[in-house]
A and B are shown apart, each in its own frame.
Chain A
Amino acid sequence: MIEINNLVKHYGDKKAVNDISFTVNDDEVLGFLGPNGAGKSTTMNIITGYLSSTSGTVKVNGHDILEEPELAKKDIGYLPELPPLYLDMTVLEYLNFICDLKQVKRSERKEQLAKIIAMVKIVDVADRLIGNLSKGYKQRVGIAQALVGNPSILILDEPTVGLDPNQIIEIRKLIRTLAKDHSVIISSHILSEIQEVCDRVVIINKGRVAAIDTISDLSRRLSGSSKLLLSFKGDAKKGINAVRAIPGVSDCKIRISDQDIHESEVTIQSDLATDVRTSIFYAMSKNNLPILEFRSLDPTLEEIFLSITGS
């Protein structure tokens, strides 16, 4: 369990982290979401003891990271944004070094390493030089490093960044396996990634917590303003008027209107309570405006912030 209270970090006059508080429960996967530069990495670096906060406290399983750093760090496995790999060592040499650093007992070492290597699927590359591995394998070695010493808490900073889609799927699978018996914090700026693996989400923006919620609550709040994209053949104005007439539609705006081929694209904003999609279909058909494309728009992270912060 991690308790974070009123965390502040100044870089000169700039506040990278401004009064963040949240708690991570045991065996929970917490998504840490925010755009680039929102303060995710800084917060994680403070939690793991790499940086000290300007003020505020971090308690890991009851141990303050500043006052009892050794006890607190024992419970944390950390994969920073840039995995801390020695490129001139083989995977096994490297993991053995991490065992030395984390003071894993000699008797347990062999068994533990075998387990970790199997779990993150790096058995075939165990004797290869880290510098010669692909990015996906390097990331896995990074995760293996975090797992050494059986920490109860895993902190993974952007674990899928820069990987190809197949590798991303594999890493996500791995994280889901790990989540069974670890508390996990994952940072990301991709919503879908967080949605897939996390129980709860902390969203931060400009160094502040924008929202803390479970995924289901968050989706419900997000669906408060559902957005649709509609493209059709015909006059844009006519279409907009037809859509606006439908009860429940709060707004309708032109995105693209091409007079030559006579095609238009509009975005529609509707109330939550009513599903306006059937009505729109009939209204368009009545007005003789053939629908070319009709789909709901996934909210972007920006929009989530906008909607959450209400501005």
Chain B
Amino acid sequence: MSSNKKSANKSSGDNRQKYLKLYSVGTVLILLVIVFASNILFENILGKHLTFDLSLSNQNSLTKESSDFIASLPADANFRIVGLMDKPTSLNNSPMRYIVPLLDDYASKSNGRISVEYVNPETYPSILRELDPQNIYDLSSDKFAVCYQGRIITVEPYDCFTYDSSYSQQGYMVPTANAVEYTFTNAIANLASGITAKAYFVTGLQTDESVQLKHVLSSLGMEAEDLPVSNGFAIPDDCDLLILNNPQTDIPEPVEIALGEYIDKGGDFIVVLSFYNNVTESYSRLNNVLNKMNLNVDSYVLRENDPHYALDTTGFASLIHSTDGYKEFASTDSFRASYARPVRAYDNPFSYITTEPVMTTSSTATAVIVDPDNGISEFENENTYNVVMYSTYTGMTNPPQCFVFGTSDFTSDSYLSSYGYNDANVQFIRNCIKKVTGLNEYNNVFVYTKPLDDYSIDSAKVTSTNVSVMTVVFMVVIPLALVIVAVIIYNKRKNL
């Protein structure tokens, strides 16, 4: 073989390697280009046409309740919904995608009764003055203002949803229900009714935050304000409803006195207590006040012994049932309650006081004393206990009324945000508020929040037996069986 030919061979050889390399890298690059190009193409050009809203409740159109209500408004009504922002264009991954299309639906279905516009106050600062000349409402960028006859209800996009408080993904909350229609229709209804009512929350006693409960009030057209505990504590005259939302400590003397006077004036109030962190608190001053309504809350925790009622193995979470007079308050008569204190009628002889049990346990519940040092001990024999009671005075105009809840599962943020506004407990507390404030006659629109997910299951089936059976099957039997099979197969094959 001549040396010429050899060198020719060598160079052709190197060419082959180069060619293969070029081919290999080239094909990868070409594939990448194709993939990126087609993805961008799909996303930006075809993406919108290839997106389908298959959600069951049709998130972006009005339900019959809202349409009927809008149709019932006077024909010349002029509601103005102003989004204090530039009209959002990119709706993906933002709560706006449930708000903007729905508001468009309001505008188109209202026959001119409702107008929707977007004005950014950073570009047009005059809009704030125009809507709110006296500067009494809390208007700012990125909120919606629902305006009617000089009154305004503001809506924050974030508040149009309930969120899963137990599960948050990478720092932001995961919404569980879409309350956009609920929020806006209620706002319109409240403006249309023209009535105002104000609720005060007594704060400063390590009470619950009440963010969700305030949303519920706002959907009923009630304004809410905090009333901090102080030496000069006084209940304002415009108070239509006073709420003590799960204080962890007893009320101080000034509050006891103020509450007594409030009852004498015929004031309405709701007291919520529970038995979760504050196991040693007996609320003697608060009970003094409640005794005026012939009610008393005891320092025990209720334990449900009936397996059909118990929701967990301890029996501290259980189902409770509404009594006959309150069946209409919600779509079901069973409700969840946990760590409940028993509420009972006090031995107060005045015949003008009427007390009613509202929610009761099964007939086999027991009251349990929890001593932080010595554990728990039974208090009384199995019996039916009241978890919620109602009391009022009879035979007088404008009597005082109150609901006393032994559990925080009707009012706490964590419960309300986990279960959403359609939950039976929320329906119930709404009706309790309506009953004591007398809003019943005015506000009859009830718009369901839309289940982004409404995942409640038949609570009768959530028994402690079922839960333990499933725990054993799903977390012990199946994995263990698999591991055993793995060991058997491994050993068998090892010795083949």
Task: Give A residues with C-beta under 8 Å from B.
Answer: 6, 8, 10, 19, 52-56, 88, 90, 127-129, 132
Contact = CB atoms under 8 A, between A and B. Distances in A.
A6 B9 contact: yes
B496 A129 contact: yes
Interface in B1-48: 1, 6, 9-10, 12-14, 16-17, 20
B64 interface: no
Report, nearest first, the 7 A-B pairs whose CB atoms are least far apart.
A55-B13, A54-B13, A129-B496, A128-B496, A8-B13, A55-B9, A55-B12
Nearest to A54: B13
A195 B1 CA distance: 30
Contacts of A10: 13-14, 17
Nearest to B17: A54
A56 B9 CA distance: 8
A128 B16 CA distance: 45
A8 B7 CA distance: 12
B493 interface: yes
Contacts of B13: 8, 10, 53-56
Contact of A52 (B10, B14, B20): B20
Contacts of A53: 13, 16
A127 B12 CA distance: 50
B493 A19 contact: no
Nearest to A125: B496
A88 B1 CA distance: 50
22 contacts: A8-B9, A8-B10, A8-B13, A10-B13, A10-B14, A10-B17, A19-B6, A19-B9, A53-B13, A54-B14, A54-B17, A55-B9, A55-B10, A55-B12, A55-B13, A55-B16, A56-B9, A90-B496, A127-B496, A129-B496, A132-B494, A132-B495
Contacts of A132: 494-496
A127 B495 CA distance: 11
A154 to B, nearest CB: 28
B488 to A, nearest CB: 15
Contacts of A52: 16, 20
Contacts of A88: 493
A127 B496 CA distance: 7
Interface in B455-479: none
Contacts of B494: 129, 132
B10 A129 contact: no
Nearest to A130: B496
B30 to A, nearest CB: 21
A293 B12 CA distance: 57
Interface string B138-153: 0000000000000000
A90 B13 CA distance: 43
Majority secondary structure, B binding face: helix
A191 B1 CA distance: 29
B406 to A, nearest CB: 62
Given A19-B1, A54-B16, A129 B9 contact: no
Given A55-B10, A56-B13, 16 more contacts: A8-B9, A10-B14, A10-B17, A19-B9, A52-B16, A53-B13, A53-B16, A54-B14, A56-B9, A88-B493, A128-B496, A129-B493, A129-B494, A132-B494, A132-B495, A132-B496
Nearest to B15: A55
A55 B20 CA distance: 12
Nearest to B1: A19
A231 B180 CA distance: 110
Contacts of A127: 496
Nearest to B12: A55
Nearest to B20: A52
Contacts of A128: 496
A57 to B, nearest CB: 11
A155 B16 CA distance: 25
A131 B136 CA distance: 84
A85 to B, nearest CB: 14
Contacts of A56: 9, 13
B470 to A, nearest CB: 35
Contacts of B14: 10, 54
A52 B13 CA distance: 11
A169 to B, nearest CB: 28
Contacts of A129: 493-494, 496
Contacts of B9: 6, 8, 19, 55-56
Q: Which of A52, A55, A90 has the most CB of B within 10 A?
A: A55
Nearest to B492: A129
Contacts of B1: 19
A261 B20 CA distance: 69
B372 to A, nearest CB: 58
B492 to A, nearest CB: 10
B4 to A, nearest CB: 14
B169 to A, nearest CB: 39
Nearest to B11: A55
Contacts of A54: 13-14, 16-17
A19 to B, nearest CB: 7
Nearest to B494: A129
Contacts of B20: 52
A10 B11 CA distance: 12
Nearest to B16: A55
Contacts of B16: 52-55
A129 B13 CA distance: 44
Contacts of B12: 55
A119 B16 CA distance: 42
Nearest to B493: A129
B7 to A, nearest CB: 11
A19 B6 CA distance: 8
A8 B11 CA distance: 11
B496 to A, nearest CB: 4
A19 B496 CA distance: 48
A275 to B, nearest CB: 40
A233 to B, nearest CB: 55
A56 B494 CA distance: 46
A52 B495 CA distance: 40
Nearest to A90: B496
Contacts of B496: 90, 127-129, 132
Nearest to A128: B496
Nearest to A91: B496
A283 to B, nearest CB: 48
A88 B16 CA distance: 39
A90 B492 CA distance: 12
A110 to B, nearest CB: 21
A88 B17 CA distance: 37
